[in-house]
Amino acid sequence: MTAHDHQNSLPSLAKSFFVLIFVLPFAGYSYFILRYMVNIPFDDDYDLIFNFMNNFLRANTTGERISLLFVQHNEHRVVFERLVVLAQYYLFGEINIGYLILAGNLGWICTVAVFILFLRRHYHLPLLHLLPIPYIMLSFTHWDIMFFATSALANYWAMLFFMLFMISVTHNRLTATGIFFIAAMCTLANGLILYFIGAAHWYEKRNWRNLLFFSILAAVLVLCYFDGYQKPMNHPSIHQAVLQPITVIEYVILFWGNMFRLKYLAIVLGGGMLASSAYFFMTRRNDGMLRLLILFTLLTSLAAAITRSGFGVEQALSSRYSIYSLFVCASLYVLILTYPQTRVDRKTIVLGSIVCALLFWSNFVVRYEHNLSFAIEREKRIFGFVRFVGGDDEGLNYYNHARAAEMLTTADSLKSYDVSAVLYRLGRHPLRH
């Protein structure tokens, strides 16, 4: 090899190394999902997958089957999740929780990828400057939904629909806005908040035509959503939250700082992110999508505080909420990086952020692997299922063990979920009770 050839090979090696570093969090996240997912239901999977499919397969008419798609679950109308379950069943001929876990996490990987593509196109940032984002967002802060099929389908895909809605709104694409609004509200209840997001944006821009059409469409859809709606049992009263404003404020701050589990650290981080977001929201009026994302997170945290703070403010630290905190963190990084009045050199910001993001992501990978956290949870789920096959339903991960056993037995009789085959594929034998 000549000296000239050697010099030409250096940029190629550097480029390959950078691609490897950029892809690493995507590959690492996918590896953990594939390694630790298991074809055994958990918690709401029993209701949203097995109870739904048992009723769907036993329904006598098309009208009954369609109505089952819209049945309320807690405060949600989980039409999207049920459609995915049906698609998975008819494609593979059986219910497979592992495939549904994969489908749910695919939504989060797509969300991160689309977010990066949007930032690159909108802000014309080189990929090196965007390197911290996949390491931040593909960390394991939201560990409790990574292997929870229905929760992964709901939360991860909802975030994609929320983001695509906001991108569509800021680009004045009325049809796309309507489509993603429907998708969002049929995935998670806080998709209803997008009604106010879209209306507020077009009011601020004085786009009366889009404001009128969207408001009429959204109003009709919201009325349909609440037709026959019932307040979820055992959920705290809204009046309780109204009478405790300090609790609501603390809940909101914790919600924003949810990237960290320690309460006081979350309060400091949440307060700082709220203050920073408020500043950029008021001063960066041309950053439409990120401003809407900040506003959406604020309204979501307020809605959660009003409806759920009665469970205790610590509920705001539920790991599933960290996806909002991660989104805001990534957004603030971009807003700081592109801030024209910044006194800090952009290269310093990028380098510092890359180091912090790498340490943040690596901490989760090393800690969860060293503590065998995912492996232990997987074994607990398998052990409970093995006990069930042996005649003891106490190990099933559902609040009503007898009810969970009934749903699994019904699915087995309908041949939609072969209990014995699941156990055989795991290489386990039933424990006789």
Mean pLDDT of all residues in 86-106: 95
Whether 8 shows a pLDDT value over 70: the answer reads no
* Each residue's pLDDT tens digit, 37-53: 999 999 999 999 999 99
Is residue 431 very low, low, confident or very high in pLDDT (cuts 50, 70, 90)?
A: low
For residue 90, the tally of other CB atoms under 10 A from its CB is: 9
For 76, the 3-state DSSP assignment is: strand
Instruction: Report residue 376 CA to chain centroid gap.
Output: 23
Model pTM score:
0.91
161 with 187: CB under 8 angstroms? yes
Is residue 12 very low, low, confident or very high in pLDDT (cuts 50, 70, 90)?
A: confident
Whether 429 shows a pLDDT value over 80: the answer reads no
Mean pLDDT score across all residues of the chain? 89
% of the chain residues with pLDDT over 90: 64
- DSSP letters along 168-198, please? HHHTT-HHHHHHHHHHHHTT-GGGGGHHHHH
* Each residue's pLDDT tens digit, 123-158: 999 899 999 999 999 999 999 899 999 999 999 999
User: Alpha helix (H) ranges present in 147-287?
Assistant: 149-170, 174-185, 194-204, 208-225, 238-242, 245-256, 263-283
Whether 432 shows a pLDDT value over 60: the answer reads no
For 73, the 3-state DSSP assignment is: strand
* Each residue's pLDDT tens digit, 308-340: 877 888 888 888 899 999 999 999 999 999 887
Which pLDDT value is given to residue 361?
Answer: 93
* Each residue's pLDDT tens digit, 397-421: 899 999 999 999 999 999 999 988 8
% of the chain residues with pLDDT over 70: 96
Which pLDDT value is given to residue 120?
Answer: 93
* Each residue's pLDDT tens digit, 174-228: 999 999 999 999 999 999 999 999 999 999 999 999 999 999 999 999 998 888 8
In sequence order, what are the beta bridge partners of 76? 73
96 with 37: CB under 8 angstroms? no
* Cβ within 8 Å of residue 215, ≥6 positions away: 199
80 with 183: CB under 8 angstroms? yes
HEC states along 302-344?
Answer: HHHHHHHHHHCHHHHHCHHHHHHHHHHHHHHHHHHHCCCCCCC
37/429: higher pLDDT: 37
Spatial distance between the Cα atoms of 149 and 49, rounded to a whole number of angstroms: 9
Is residue 3 very low, low, confident or very high in pLDDT (cuts 50, 70, 90)?
A: very low
Mean pLDDT of all residues in 157-175: 95
Whether 1 shows a pLDDT value over 80: the answer reads no
278/373: higher pLDDT: 278
Whether 104 shows a pLDDT value over 50: the answer reads yes
Compute CA distances 343 → 184, 286, 332, 338, whole Å: 39, 21, 16, 12
Which pLDDT value is given to residue 286?
Answer: 84
Compute CA distances 167 → 139, 202, 205, 214, 313, whole Å: 24, 13, 15, 15, 32
Is residue 293 very low, low, confident or very high in pLDDT (cuts 50, 70, 90)?
A: very high
Mean pLDDT of all residues in 6-13: 58
282 with 300: CB under 8 angstroms? no
Q: How many CA atoms lie within 13 A of 156 on its CB side?
A: 29
Is residue 433 very low, low, confident or very high in pLDDT (cuts 50, 70, 90)?
A: very low
